[in-house]
């Protein structure tokens, strides 16, 4: 039986999609999804590290 992974979705306007598509291509990412996931993980780590440094 296949395991279903959690999913995150977002609805965006056309300008945001165009921006993300362009950035993903420049970054050499295979898809917008890959780009957004990579950026979100990087930002999440920064936020957590900053919070831990303040404690």
pLDDT for residue 1: 64
DSSP the chain: -PPPPP-------HHHHHHHHHHHHHTT-SSHHHHHHHHHHHHHHHHHHHHHHH-
State the CATH architecture for 14-54.
Answer: Up-down Bundle (1.20)
Whole-number pLDDT of residue 38: 97
Which sequence spans correspond to the domains of the chain?
Answer: 14-54
pLDDT at 55: 80
pLDDT digits (tens, 9 = 90+) for 1-55: 678 999 999 999 999 999 999 999 999 999 999 999 999 999 999 999 999 998 8
Residues 34 and 22: beta-carbon distance below 8 Å: no
**Burial per residue of 15-24, b for 16 or more beta-carbon CB atoms within 10 angstroms, e otherwise:** eeeeebeeeb
Q: Is the pTM of this model over 0.85?
A: no
């Amino acid at each position: 039986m296949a395991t279903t992974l959690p999913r995150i979705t977002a609805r965006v306007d056309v300008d945001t999609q165009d921006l993300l598509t362009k950035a993903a291509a420049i970054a050499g990412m295979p898809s917008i999804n890959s780009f957004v996931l990579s950026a979100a993980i990087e930002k999440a780590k920064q936020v957590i590290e900053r919070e831990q440094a303040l404690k």
